[in-house]
């Protein structure tokens, strides 16, 4: 099984603390060593890093730990190959453009007998069920709403239907963002936490690292972190329900 | 004016030497300091790095100089903003997917009164004339060839028409790759060199750095480097003709 990490905030925030614990799972405290990737929205642009080396050994992961990139929406993924070989084109997250915005997607789980007909402009480059699901999602959104982006409420309703349709084929824990919101769907394992004033100290479960968020935040900051397994030992994480879709905007579920 | 650098090879090759001289132009020997970017094909996957810091100061550029990435097709760009503000979404190269392949594009020059109607699935995320031209190119290719990729000869003929149509609006020095070939079009400034056996020493014009390629190659290697201004002082670069489109495959023009 792969691991997913998402972050959604009301002000651009760096993900160094969470990524430090998360990246350790790519080859050190866990066996997800078939590549990894991370995408940061910055305005409407995206910084996208993928690597098929284990996250623990990757020079790009090292760069991200050393050079904090501030973002309001981040999606990261560590891969344990189940479908599709170990190759750059199979590393999540995937990026495509729809309605003049970039969309970033990552998936945890396996889909069986999932072979939707792709008759639109989105085609997988690699051979994972995940990228296929992403292309199908975007195709269906474009088919439903045409050339103009719908409201967030309409989009959420459509994604609720589409994720549930895909999840009928297996496990579909997924994260999707267009830079304005983070859409998350849980089949089996997804947890979130909202950190806000008054901020406290957090201690990573994967590494002996703590951070006192009150020292690095302002009282207005709000950060939601969503992950397949809780990252810290001393905070209370909320587990998603099976089949639940939660949309995060400005650091909190809406 | 921006600067473009492309590389096309018959075996995966690192671009450290050329990139070292090229990146120096982003803020040190030249004034192209409004961002930069580089994309490497690896198989059908792409590593894509963009930054709106000057290339000379960017930690990502430093990573690329220190950690050689081997690729058969590379496109790099250093930006001097003429249209579109300094922002991540306006940094070249741009990446989109067509026919289940990634396409990478970068442009040098300005287009005037260029406002094609986009009625297909490709929309600019930023506000440069360059990304608009890229979206238009892909839309027209998809309109012409439908859902299946044409042969390279058909593709080349189509690109010859389309680039000439766009170039009528101004300066359109550009590089485009789908990972199998590097398509280059010159309006004003583009030069190339093919390095092959017997390899010799080359000396950068922007930095006091030399490399003896005979020490780092095999006799079978062949590398084409394409650039808006020659990178070395002791080699003979071939200047493109005005309006010329050259396709590079396996390290040589076809």
ipTM over 0.90: yes
- Tens digits of residue pLDDT in B126-166: 999 999 999 999 999 999 999 999 999 999 999 999 999 99
Please give the average per-residue pLDDT across A183-193, as a whole number.
97
Contacts of B115 (CB under 8 A, 6+ apart): none
Strands (E), A154-221: 173-177, 182-185, 191-196, 201-203, 210-212
Quote the distance between the C-alpha of residue A210 and its chain's center. 23
Q: What is the mean pLDDT of each run of 10 residues along chain B (254 residues)?
A: 90 89 73 82 95 81 83 92 81 97 96 94 95 98 95 97 98 98 97 94 84 88 95 94 98 96
- What is residue A56's predicted lDDT score, i.e. its pLDDT? 75
The DSSP string of A35-70 is -EEEEEEETTEEEEEEESS-TTT-HHHHHHHHS--E
Question: How many other β-carbons are positioned within 10 Å of the β-carbon of residue B138?
Answer: 23
Closest partner residue to A125 (CB to CB) among B102, B121, B125 is B102
Please give the average per-residue pLDDT across A188-204, as a whole number.
93
Strand partners, A88: none
Is there a contact between A88 and B124 if contact means CB atoms under 8 Å apart?
A: no
Q: Which residues of A are tagged catalytic?
A: 2
Strands (E), chain A: 3-14, 36-42, 45-51, 70-78, 94-98, 101-108, 173-177, 182-185, 191-196, 201-203, 210-212, 222-227, 238-239, 245-249, 252-253
- Helices (H) and strands (E) in chain B — how many of each? 4, 15
- What is residue A31's predicted lDDT score, i.e. its pLDDT? 61
Is there a contact between A63 and B63 if contact means CB atoms under 8 Å apart?
A: yes
**Which chain B residues touch A if contact means CB-CB below 8 Å?**
42-50, 59-60, 63, 66-67, 87-91, 95-102, 120-126, 142, 147
CA distance B115 to B111: 9
- pLDDT tier, A53 (very low <50, low <70, confident <90, very high otherwise): confident
Closest partner residue to B50 (CB to CB) among A47, A96, A99 is A47
- What is residue B1's predicted lDDT score, i.e. its pLDDT? 59
Candidates B50, B161, B35, B23; CA nearest to B104 is B50
**What is the residue extent of each domain of chain B?**
3-253
pLDDT at A27 over 90: no
CATH topology for B3-253? 3.60.20
Instruction: Strand B94-98: give its sheet, edge to edge.
Output: B94-98, B101-108, B173-177, B182-185, B245-249, B252-253
Quick check: is B2 catalytic? yes
Contacts of B153 (CB under 8 A, 6+ apart): none
CA distance B102 to B136: 16
What tokens does A83 get?
């479908």
CB A18 within 8 A of CB A202: no
């Amino acid at each position: 099984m792969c691991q997913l990490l998402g972050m959604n905030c009301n002000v651009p925030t760096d993900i160094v603390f969470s990524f430090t614990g998360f990246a350790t799972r790519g080859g050190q405290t866990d066996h997800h060593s078939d590549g990894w990737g991370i995408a940061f929205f910055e305005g409407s642009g995206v910084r996208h890093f993928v690597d098929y080396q284990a996250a623990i050994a990757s020079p790009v992961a090292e760069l991200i730990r050393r050079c904090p990139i501030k973002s309001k929406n981040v999606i990261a993924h560590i891969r344990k190959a189940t479908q599709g070989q170990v190759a750059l084109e199979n590393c999540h997250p995937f990026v495509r453009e729809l309605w003049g915005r970039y969309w970033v997607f990552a998936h945890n789980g396996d889909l069986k007998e999932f072979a939707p007909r792709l008759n639109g402009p989105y085609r997988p480059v690699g051979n994972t069920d995940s990228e296929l699901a992403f292309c199908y999602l975007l195709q269906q959104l474009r088919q439903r709403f045409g050339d103009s982006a719908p409201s967030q409420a309409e989009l959420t309703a459509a994604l609720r239907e589409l994720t549930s349709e895909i999840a009928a084929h297996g496990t579909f824990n997924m994260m999707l963002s267009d830079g304005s919101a983070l859409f998350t769907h849980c089949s089996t394992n997804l947890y979130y936490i909202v950190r806000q004033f008054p901020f406290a100290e957090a201690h990573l479960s994967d590494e002996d690292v703590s951070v006192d968020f009150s020292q690095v935040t302002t009282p207005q900051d709000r950060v939601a972190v969503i992950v397949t397994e809780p990252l810290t030992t001393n905070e209370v994480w909320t587990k998603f329900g099976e089949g639940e879709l939660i949309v995060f905007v400005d650091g909190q579920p809406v």
